Amino acid sequence: MLTQSQIIIQRVYNKISCFKNLLIGFSGGLDSTALLHILFKIKKLNNTKLNIRAIHVNHGLSDKSNQWEIHCNKICKQLQIRFIYRRILIESTKNNIEATAREARYKAYSDELNSREVMITAHHLNDQSETFLLSLKRGSGPAGLSSMYEKTAFKKTTWIIRPLLTTSRSDLEKYVSENQLIYIKDDTNRNSRYDRNYLRLHVMPLLYKRWPHLPKMIARSAFLCGEQEFLLDELLQNRLIELLNNNGEISIYKLQTFSKAKRNALIRRWVKLYQLPVPSFDKIEKIWSEVALAKQDANPINRFGQIEIRRYKGNLSIVKHINKLLGKQYNWDYHESFELPESLGILKIIKYGKIRLPKDNEKITVRFGLQGKINIVGLSYSKKAKKIWQEQNVPPWMRERIPLIYYNNKLITAVEYFITQEGSINSENIGISINWEKFNFFNICSQ
């Protein structure tokens, strides 16, 4: 008969056996210490070519943070597992330190994880119960109550695997004790200021005492909620595609033909389609009432996180929030590529085109925010900037993001849209063009 430790090892092996390259989040606490040792055992017992790396994120929130980093490095050396550490700075005065720390931690994971690896975390059965109750506190629907999945898409090209999600903390405590493992006891875990700690210290013990099997029952409810969400995704997928145009914008007119419940579900899945954080019920209500149904002459906007929901010509658009660029200018040595601010992309000069080269005494700058009247090539008269953008169907929020190239103080071109008479070539000029390589914001967000 297998021991409890052997059962856990076999369970983890079944979850990760199809992967060869693993990056484990290693805090040094009980859970991740147990998981790291389990992975070490799997590699040793099965003699597999399993490549394991461990990443420790030093949040700097405790005066012992550096000691913990040293401890984690020592453990990895003992197990002959490659150790990576990342130090991040988090303001301890922030209202939601838990969320801020998690966001920074997963950003570090994303930056380190390569396309051949999967991310492994040590979330267990009790964590799942806490996540479910915290979602319940926030008034979440089935999507939020589904809590954590054993396998979740990450960075669009790989996965987060949670092989301990059906293993209780008490079983992990026994595993650590049986294998005489040393782990970090984080004093911040005793601070009831944090919601999860409050649940863990004051609420869950009472619930477990009354109903010992509650974690398993909560996990079942979370699974059923996730199953319902998956079914809704399947049922609404084709309908959602019918509502989208080639730019990924969703039709307000078509959404109006559905019931409120179906409309909200479609908007939620539209955002989810880009692997962005799914908006809450209240946020979806505001997207509809304050953006979709705003007055005809309004330029409505609803922001959550780094995302803006906008409206233009009867469609809703998902837009990246950026800092104001109007009035700013950047020098550009056109012999080199130029990385635009706010992750808007990269500009490169290409030989041959309809834009003239700068003269020796002309300095190139990149600016934003077209204003005044412009003399465009092909027209014998000037046009107002607003009129130009309207005729080219450029949404208001996009207008301030289009790079404008100046030679000294003369506007030469709005990249990809028009060339001015000042910027056009003549028989004596050598022509160039400017390539704008745009970054995919949705790929950035999903990391």
Q: Tell me the two tokens of residue 226.
A: 């996730």
Check the annotation: does 30 bind a ligand: yes
Check the annotation: does 280 bind a ligand: no
Q: Tell me the two tokens of residue 202.
A: 């004051």
Instruction: Find the length of the chain.
Output: 447
The model's pLDDT over 103-129, given as tens digits with 9 standing for 90+, comes to 889 999 999 999 899 999 999 999 999
Check the annotation: does 115 bind a ligand: no
The model's pLDDT over 142-195, given as tens digits with 9 standing for 90+, comes to 989 999 999 998 877 889 999 999 999 999 999 999 999 999 998 777 888 888
Average pLDDT over residues 335-357: 92
Check the annotation: does 305 bind a ligand: no
Q: What are the residue ranges of CATH 3.40.50.620 in the chain?
A: 4-221
Q: What is the topology classification, in CATH, of domain 4-221?
A: Rossmann fold (3.40.50)
Provide the pairing of β-strand 410-414 with 418-419: antiparallel
Most distant CA atoms of the chain, gap in Å: 90
Check the annotation: does 60 bind a ligand: no
Check the annotation: does 147 bind a ligand: no
Alpha helices (runs of H) in 95-213, residue ranges in sequence order: 97-112, 125-137, 142-145, 169-178, 195-198, 204-210
Phi-psi bin for 179: left (phi > 0), alpha (psi -120 to 50), beta? alpha
Three-state helix/strand/coil letters over 385-443:
HHHHHHHCCCCHHHHCCCCEEEECCEEEEECCCEEEHHHECCCCCCEEEEEEECCCHHH
Sign of CA dihedral 415, 421, 422, 428: positive
Supply the pLDDT for residue 427. Answer: 67
Supply the pLDDT for residue 444. Answer: 39
Q: What are the residue ranges of CATH 1.20.59.20 in the chain?
A: 244-320
Chain-centre distance for alpha carbon 306 = 10
Domain at 244-320: CATH code: 1.20.59.20
The model's pLDDT over 252-298, given as tens digits with 9 standing for 90+, comes to 999 999 999 999 999 999 998 887 878 889 999 999 999 999 998 88
